[in-house]
Amino acid sequence: MPTKKIVIKAAAKLATKSAPKLATKPASKVSSTKGIVKTVPVKAVSKEDAGLPLSVVIRRRIEAQKARFHANDNIAAFIKPGELDGLVDEVAEKMQAVLESLVIDTESDHNTQNTSRRVAKMFVKEVFNGRYIEQPTLTKFPNVSRLNELMIIGPITVRSACSHHLCPIMGRIWIGVLPSKESALIGLSKYSRLTEWVMCRPQIQEEAVVELADMLEKKIKPIGVAIVMDADHFCMQWRGVKDRDSKMVNSVMRGAFLKDSNLRREFLSLLEKR
């Protein structure tokens, strides 16, 4: 086991970022009169896709590659530039139908006149954006000073939603990395970026931390990676048991963190102090 010095880095808080730049060619025409959002279905390019909703066109591309498209999967590779705006239009139209089925008078209720569109935009371009945009580029640096000390990054603010109810999950993540002399290091802010990309999808906390650990192992090739996530689940607080204090804590330990109980203890004890 290499000698370890403790390096604790404060993580940048994840700011709510505006949507990434995308081609803004309108994929469909939307007219809004007195709260009724009418959306003309997006016309796809190829002949056999003509007249199909954009979601079906994208779904066909995914199925042709036999890829998975669960709630927590990223499907950016199947979406062409400009199509996210078309998806917003399609979701807005269907969200309007949901509001109508909830017997909400979106015509005279000024508060809900544009709710369908706001929710659609929020899902596609903000809170579930990690499904639709490419993985953030991670500049890797060679480990020139041959660091092999325990690094702890965190707390990184986590904003996600459960895939069961689409209720918010708000919490914090700490990442422990024990790099090898050969590891490629990534900039500190990239841990936050990568975390945000994974969390901005309907998720299950247990799967989200595993996905993040897999990704970090693949990118950094460290001797060990550890992740602890501590979060409030609004599907327990807002609905269901309505327990305001219920929290969920998960951890993933890989490599040295799994084998070396001293290292694991050291990591966990440092988190308790924070």
The residues that touch Zn ion, with contacts defined as CB under 5 A, are 162, 164-165, 235
CA distance 221 to 66: 29
User: Closer to Zn ion at the Cβ: 59 or 165?
Assistant: 165
CA gyration radius, the chain: 22
Q: Please, what is the minimum distance in Å from the beta carbon of residue 124 to Zn ion? A: 20
Residue type, 119: V
Q: Please, what is the minimum distance in Å from the beta carbon of residue 200 to Zn ion? A: 17
Greatest alpha-carbon pair distance for the chain in Å reads 69
Beta carbons of 198 and 215 less than 8 angstroms apart: yes
Q: Please, what is the minimum distance in Å from the beta carbon of residue 212 to Zn ion? A: 20
User: Closer to Zn ion at the Cβ: 140 or 165?
Assistant: 165
User: Closer to Zn ion at the Cβ: 69 or 234?
Assistant: 234
User: Closer to Zn ion at the Cβ: 76 or 235?
Assistant: 235
Q: Please, what is the minimum distance in Å from the beta carbon of residue 234 to Zn ion? A: 8
User: Closer to Zn ion at the Cβ: 19 or 71?
Assistant: 71
CA distance 248 to 161: 13
User: Closer to Zn ion at the Cβ: 110 or 164?
Assistant: 164
Nearest CA to 75 out of 53, 56, 87, 58 is that of 58
CA distance 153 to 128: 24
Q: Please, what is the minimum distance in Å from the beta carbon of residue 116 to Zn ion? A: 23
What's 130's DSSP letter?
Answer: G
What's 99's DSSP letter?
Answer: H
CA distance 182 to 144: 9
Residue of minimal Cβ distance to Zn ion: 235
Q: Please, what is the minimum distance in Å from the beta carbon of residue 239 to Zn ion? A: 8
**What are the DSSP calls for 15-29, one per residue?**
--PPPPP-----SS-
